[in-house]
Structure 1
Amino acid sequence: MAAAEPKRVFPVTGGVIVLVVCALLALALVTDAAIRSGIGNALLLAPWPLLALWGVYVVAVASDVRADLTGVRVQNFLRRTWAPWSRVKRVAMRWQLEITFDDGAVLRCFGGPARSRSRRIGPGRTREDSAEQSHDGIAALHRLRADSALHRLRADSEVRSDAELTRSWDMPALAALVVLAVWAILAVLVTL
């Protein structure tokens, strides 16, 4: 696996905005509960909006695509896959980013650039192509893959097709889920 985090990040579009709006809503709900019924009851109610906020984080922010000269890391919800460029056969856009490996396996990326419908234009306006950004993301991944191959050739290193694909879990997000689940169970037990 790569020693450092890949440099180029392709996040889910608008994910951070959705997370901030949901965090403000959760804060308002917990604050209202604290004002109306006290801190104790607010602590009993807090795990529920926080669990919802955790879900929004996993769906809207955590899923992304990161790439550099060594390879590409894809995080789909809580699952991470890292692949060196030597194992990547094809990077393409269908409805979402798809990475095909040399063994024929296809990894569909929830995060990263995505294809969107073109926007309608009014009279007297110029055409806006909203899918342009996704094509820029694909082009950036193609450039990184080509630069990686060029770098390997310049360094006179062997092209290793047996380099490993590494799959792992997002442990900090899973740890947060466990803490919130225990908190929610304790809140239910206290209220019984």
Structure 2
Amino acid sequence: MVTARPPRVFRATGAVVLLGLSAVLAVFLLGDAVVRSGPVNAALLAPWPLLVVWGVYVAGVASDVRADATGVRVQNLLRRTWVPWGRVDRISMRWQLEFALYGGQVLSSFGGPARSRPRRLGVGGEKEHGNAEEEDGIAALHRLRAESVPDVGDAVVHGWDWPMIWTGLALGVWAVNAVIIAH
């Protein structure tokens, strides 16, 4: 019997840091706009830096791989695909993480784990402490797949990240209205 554990989440390295930096920059720019030209003009300028922050979030943080004992969910930008482990033929890394499915399909992931680089030899010819093989993301996915109970009957499910789509549409409508009001 497979024990229920929360899914393991793999994100692109540095995505959260980039999101934080872009959010700080957006707050700074909007604060400067409020001080220099007032809250009305700042409201007309606001959708543009917010669209940039939204884009960084969608591309970096939301694009991830979540795996548990039942399968793996890959989110690329706004598209989500859930694959049960029984449908995965192999997991490999080319330019990005790829799941080869039975039937010949290949599911590539924008975000997700990467292979650890080999550790340098420290003083005395011993390996440095750090990313051990057990911390490698690809190895963790292989372990989760090996621990699962394969059920070939489940289907691959495709879907959309609707909350992020609606947020992007709202920001787009706000930006169009700001252009119309400004002209």
Q: Place the TM-score, normalised by the shorter chain, in its bin.
A: 0.7 to 0.9
Partner SS for 1:75: strand
CA distance in 2, matches of 1:20, 1:32: 18
Q: Which runs of 5+ in 1 are unaligned?
A: 153-158
Per the alignment, do residues 78 and 66 of structure 1 end up closer, same or farther by CA in structure 2, a change over 3 Å counting?
same
1:54-65 paired onto structure 2 within 5 Å: 54-65=54-65
1:37 aligns with 2:37: yes
Per the alignment, do residues 31 and 83 of structure 1 end up closer, same or farther by CA in structure 2, a change over 3 Å counting?
same
Q: CA deviation at 1:122?
A: 10
Q: Identity across aligned pairs (percent)? A: 56
**Coordinate RMSD, CA, aligned:** 2.7
Partner SS for 1:181: helix
Per the alignment, do residues 167 and 31 of structure 1 end up closer, same or farther by CA in structure 2, a change over 3 Å counting?
same
Per the alignment, do residues 119 and 47 of structure 1 end up closer, same or farther by CA in structure 2, a change over 3 Å counting?
farther
CA distance in 2, matches of 1:110, 1:97: 8
Aligned length: 180
Q: Structure 1-normalised TM-score?
A: 0.83
1:109-120 paired onto structure 2 within 5 Å: 109-115=109-115
Deviations 1:49-84 (A, max 9, x none): 101111111111110000011100000111100010
CA distance in 1, matches of 2:5, 2:171: 27
Partner SS for 1:187: helix
Contact 1:118 1:128 in 2 (8 A): no
Q: CA deviation at 1:162?
A: 3.8
CA distance in 2, matches of 1:62, 1:103: 28
1:173 aligns with 2:147: no
Question: Structure 1 segments of 4 or more deviating over 2 A?
Answer: 114-135
Deviations 1:23-59 (A, max 9, x none): 0000000000000000000000000010111111111
The more displaced of 11-20 and 113-122 is 113-122
